[in-house]
Each structure stands twice: as structure tokens, then as C-alpha cells.
Amino acid sequence: MIVAIDFGTHGTGFAWATVSALQDAAGHRVVVYQPFTQSGGHTYPKDLSAVLVNRAGDPVKFGERARNAWDRELARGNPQGFGYASKFKMAIHGREGKSDIPEFLGSLAGARRHTVKVLVTAMLTHVRRAALDQIGRYAVGGAAYTADEIRWCLTIPAMWTEADRQFMRTAAVSAGLPGDMERLLLVQEPEAAAVYCALNAGTVLGPDRPEGQLEVDTPGSRFMVVDCGGGTVDITSYQIRAEGVGPGQLKETRVADGDRLGSAYVNHAFVTDILSDRFGEQQLKQLIAAFPKEVGQLETEWETEKVRLVSETAVDGTPVITDTVLISIPGKIWDALDPGTRTRLTVLASGETHYIEITAHEVTTLFESVVRPILSTIERQRAAASGDGPAVGREQMLLVGGFARSTYLRDRIAQRFGHEVRVITPMDPAVAVLGGAVHFAYDPSIIWGRRSKYTYGFGCSMPFRHGIDPQEKFFIDDDGNEKCNDRFVVMARRGDLVPTDHKAVNTVAVFPKWTSVQVTIHATYAHDPDYTDEEGCEAIGKVIPDISGSVGLPTSERSLDVAFSFGTTEIEVEVCDRRSGAARRAEVAFDDLYGRGSTDRPETPQGR
């Protein structure tokens, strides 16, 4: 059994497929999606990414049920001290950039990173249980699958750092998912979407909007995936290898790009721009404090209207939104407004009371606050891809993700790039990542190679280069050799194409009297780093190998093989003592970086 979980900013869902000979042919594989009932009564393969906790911090409800229960608690003044969180995925990658999208309300107000991990773990625990329950009902006779018979797959944004990925894996294991990398895979969201679109027909975004599918029969042809979700936009480029789509036939051609440009930022602009304009900034703050439930209703109604909006094409081919949007104002908010504000709102709404009217121009401006930088991000990735030489056949672009349901976004992308590339979107772009994750986990070998997002390596002492190396790094080793401390041994450079079966190995020496050694793993954006303490170079993990079997032997007989494997979306590091054969893998500790200059850690190995 293959089970994929797409944990998103706005919604979270799961899907699965049974493993059998009949299912091995990807084009005929049956993927089962779990429907959830959304507000308004319609079903969708995702539930709201939301958690309600009690006063003790224990999760009590999830998804739409959590939001509905929170609204009821707010109406009563929240006497039991509940807390509510939504869109908290955006707090995982929260060390820089915008951080105003996640909602932490009630007792969760001001939540820190530890609380975010607790919430993510709770959400994944809930989804895991729901998936196992549904799979049990789906199976013949309700037979349960054993843990060893299920491979899980979690989707992650391509823009996430190694620390973010480790955060997600740790939370998943805490949620009861398996810890080994064979039974818990992480897949980049645009990568999963690429696999899905290669197998399923979609719509070509052109004047006639015919049905079309990603063309995968031309060896060497390239395509770009633009994944527009609730919180982020991820862009990744791929090339079809000579053998076509099949085991090991997709390779990543560019380092993934992206930014915090999801549909949630359109909603954020609705609050900061429209509501601030209509109510006044100070009065809006007072309303949020006094009537949080009712202000939330305004945002929910805007979200409903936003999804319904359909863009049209002007005479010059420019996409336009011609409809105004009316948002009803709850009675409590209307009664709390000062008379001047009520009068102004009535005039702006053509004489209607209890309404906010948003003009077509204002709606367009809200969308453009996010759409314009999305177009710029696509431009940046296409400019980088131009260095790969001429494309074989016509270039293609896949538009996926929940935000890709917006006709305005689709039309703007088609207007800007449709004459240069073939722009395709699946029939339901919001499930492309989830469905593709199932296909990827069923056969991960479909991806042949990925681009290294960073320059990876480890710290080591090397022969001192007079006139090049800083004098403060000079030392004499135990064998009397002149050495330089903190040299960066590069195992993969940023932008390098790394086959998924590639393993980089480097051998280092250990002195006779050393009883412990630490290999510290580093990452940096720099292409050719010299030292591990350069600005922008970050320690991301460590391995402390077992060298007890060779203590006292001469340096020439004490060697360690340091191996970096790049077979998945995560790196694996293994250090093996050649003498004893003892091997240990990386103990990744992304949140516990080692202070430079510390003297209370094991020795660093030396390079030959």
C-alpha cells in the first residue's frame, strides 16, 4: 500500500494506491482520494489545515470541525480557554521573510517554533489515523495492512531548507509514521506534480483551451512546473531523458526557485488593504480585538467570493476582472461602526447597508499584489534555464496547485508566456501534487537526477598553503606536518546535477592517539567555499564514527571513508572506519548548530 499526505498551508489531504502487478503500469494505476466536506456542503480531497486545542494544549478537533468549534467558542467569549491554529505550515520556514500568514488565536497566541512542531505532529497524527481507518474500510473484508506493508510519502515545498525538511520528518515520526527512509519518503511538491501531469490529461491554456497532456515522447524536451499553493509558489524545471518517461527518466535541470506568494497573501491583502481602507486602520484593530469571529466571517466570505471570480479577456488580450464583490458585514460589526463609517460604506455600496463593495479594479489590485511577483519569479527561472541551451521541441509549463484554480492567475500566465511556451494545467490542479506523490512513492526511480540546492561538504584539516591560508588556521599535526584547520571539503556543488544513485566518497586520516572524531556536515550557497567558518556557511549535522577498533595504529592505517548519498530529496551521510568496518550515519541536528571556536567537541579528521 502507498499512502501520500499533502500537508498544505490551506488544506491537507491524503490518497493511496494498492501495490499489485495490475497497478505497476503507471498509466493504468488507480489512485483513491479521500473526500472531505467543505463549508458550503461541497466535497474536496482536502480538509482545512486547522487544529483546536483545549486549555491544556491537547488537540481536540481538526479541519473544518476545528474552525466551526472555534467560531462557537468565540461567540461565547472562549470561557474554556481554547486555542486555534490555521495556516501554520507557513511558520515552519519562518526564520526570515513574511510571517504574518499563520493564525495562532486564543491560548495559542504568540506560539513559538516548539508549539508549531506540536501542531504539525498533531495534524499528521490525525491524518495518519484517518488514512488507516479509510484504508481498512476500503480493503476487502476490512483487512488491516501491517506497518511493513505501507510506504508513506509527505509532500514538501521545493524552497524549504534542509532544516525545514528535517523538521517535517521529525514531526512525522512523532506522529507515528515510520522513521526509515524506505518507508517514509519526502517529495518536492513540484516534482510530484510533474509526475502527475506526465500521466494525466489537462487543459492547454490558449485561445481555444483544448484538452492536452504533457508531451513526454520527445527525448530531451524540457518543461517547467509552477506550483501555486496557499502559502508558497515553487518552480522547478525538468528534462525528459532519451528513454522517455519511465524508471529514471526525469532529471531536474535547475535549482528550485520560489517564494511566499500563495493565495493566502491575496486574503492577507484583503484585510490590510480593503478592510483597513473601509474601517480605518485603528478601528479595524479594535474590531479584530472585540469581534474576532465576525472579522473572520468577513475573511471567509471573501475567500468564497474570490474562488468564484472568473476573469475575462479584454480586446487587447489582457485578462480582466469585471465583477464587483459584495461582502456582507455582520450585525455586530455594523452596530459598532461610527456613524461616519456607516454612511461612507453605504454610499460606496450604492445605497446598500451592511455591505462592503469591492470594485473590479480593487479586486484586480488584490490579485496583482501576488500575481505580478509570481510572473517575475517565473521570468527569473526561465532566464536561468536559457543557459541550458536550445530546447528540444516546444518548451512546456505546468501550472498546478490550489491557487491555479484561479482563472485570473491562469490567464495572466498564459498571456505572458503562452506565445513562448505551451502552458498546461491539469483538470483539477489542486490534486496534482497529492496524486503525483502517490505515483512517485509507488516508483521513486522515475526521477533520475536532481540539482543540488546547496554546496555540501564537511570540515577537515588540509596541508597548509603559505600565502593563501590564514595564518591563524596554521598548526602542526601529530606527525609534524603543517596543516590548515577548518578547510571545506566539497562533496556536491550548488547547481550540480546529482543522479539519484550517486554517492560521493572522500577518505580522511585519523591520528594514532585519537579516541574520538567528529565529522561536521556543512552547507552553503557559495560555489567554491574554502573554509567552514566563512559567512553563509552553516553546520547542518554531524557524524561521530566508531574508531575504537584502530586506536594506537599509525596514521597510515587509520582511515575513514566519508560518503554522501543523494538518492532522495534528503542527503544521507555515512562515515566508515576502514580498519574495523564500523559505519555510522549522520545524526542531523539542524536546530543545534555548533558554536565556532568551541573546544569541548571531538577532534576533526585530517585530509590526506
pLDDT along the chain (608 residues), means of 10: 94 94 86 81 84 96 95 91 94 60 91 90 96 79 74 91 87 94 89 82 60 63 87 84 55 77 91 95 93 90 89 84 94 95 94 95 95 93 75 82 90 90 85 92 78 88 94 92 94 83 86 86 92 91 85 87 76 85 64 33 58
Structural contact between residues 252 and 453, judged by C-beta atoms closer than 8 angstroms: no
CA gyration radius, the chain: 27
Across the strands, what pairs with 185? 153
Structural contact between residues 457 and 522, judged by C-beta atoms closer than 8 angstroms: yes
What pTM value is reported for the model?
0.75
- What was the pLDDT predicted at 472? 95
Q: Of 126, 14, 16, 132, which is closest to residue 65 (Cα–Cα)? A: 126
Q: Of 189, 162, 103, which is closest to residue 456 (Cα–Cα)? A: 162
CB atoms within 10 A of CB 229: 28
By CB atoms closer than 10 A (0-12, 13-18, 19+), residue 193 is buried
Residues 6+ apart with CB under 8 A from 120: 7, 88, 89, 92, 167, 168, 171
Q: Which domains does the chain have, with CATH numbers?
A: 2-262+371-449 (no CATH), 264-369 (no CATH), 452-607 (2.60.34.10)
- What was the pLDDT predicted at 131? 93
Structural contact between residues 415 and 186, judged by C-beta atoms closer than 8 angstroms: no
Structural contact between residues 170 and 124, judged by C-beta atoms closer than 8 angstroms: no
Structural contact between residues 500 and 449, judged by C-beta atoms closer than 8 angstroms: yes
Record the cell numbers describing residue 143, joined without a space. 483487512
What is the rounded distance in angstroms from the CA atom of residue 234 to the CA atom of residue 530?
A: 31
What is the rounded distance in angstroms from the CA atom of residue 360 to the CA atom of residue 386?
A: 37
CB atoms within 10 A of CB 599: 4
What is the rounded distance in angstroms from the CA atom of residue 383 to the CA atom of residue 418?
A: 16
- What was the pLDDT predicted at 249? 61
- What was the pLDDT predicted at 206? 60
- What was the pLDDT predicted at 607? 60
The 3-state DSSP class for residue 102 equals coil
Torsion on CA atoms 314, 319, 322, 326, rounded to nearest 10: 180
> How does DSSP classify residue 273?
I
- What was the pLDDT predicted at 390? 65
Alpha helices in 386-520, H assignment, sequence order: 407-417, 432-442
Q: How far is CA 529 from CA 3, 182, 453, 460, 524, in A?
A: 40, 32, 15, 13, 8
